[in-house]
Amino acid sequence: MNYSYPKEEKLKSKITIGLLFSEGKSVSKYPLRLVYYTGALAEDQKIKMGVSVSKKHFKKAVDRNRFKRILRETYRLNKHLLHDNLEQPYAFMLFYQTKDRLTYEEINIKTIQLFEKFLAQVKKEV
């Protein structure tokens, strides 16, 4: 498994982001929330991922950027859970939704639990 986060995996399309918020579904594992939408990706791409940290909770950009960096890193190290179990393409947005300043280890554990919960929900839908 390639543990990189290449440019092709980054969610940047305004159209896809709009679809995520209008038609996407959500799964949560405190303090993380994963919004996902299937389809609207090119055939060769399996996953597009974006991260977000609320300005409401972290006023300083340096704090938001730190948590975004942690979210990207936990995704990068655990994306094999998604890649190995998904057949169709998905667009994801990962949110950090608390004022609490969790450690990297706690966020990593929550990310794994969130991905497992997402996979269970997708299997129920199919």
Contact, 34 vs 27, CB < 8 A?
A: yes
Residue stretches of the chain with pLDDT short of 50: none
Written as one string, the DSSP assignment of 7-46 is GGGB---HHHHHHHHHH-EEEEETTEEEEEEES-S-TT--
| Cα 39-45-49 angle, rounded to 5 deg | 75
Phi, psi values for residue 53, rounded to 5°: -130, 135
Say what the pLDDT of residue 40 is: 62
Say what the pLDDT of residue 3 is: 87
Two structure tokens written together for 104: 């990297």
Domain boundaries, the chain: 8-125
Say what the pLDDT of residue 2 is: 82
Q: What tens digit of pLDDT does each residue of 62-77 get?
A: 999 999 999 999 999 9
β-strands 25-29, 32-38 pairing: antiparallel
What CATH number has the domain spanning 8-125?
A: 3.30.230.10
Say what the pLDDT of residue 72 is: 97
Contact, 94 vs 49, CB < 8 A?
A: yes
β-strands 90-96, 47-53 pairing: parallel
3-state secondary structure of 94: strand
Say what the pLDDT of residue 87 is: 85
Say what the pLDDT of residue 48 is: 92
Helix axes 104-125, 61-78, angle to 10 degrees: 60
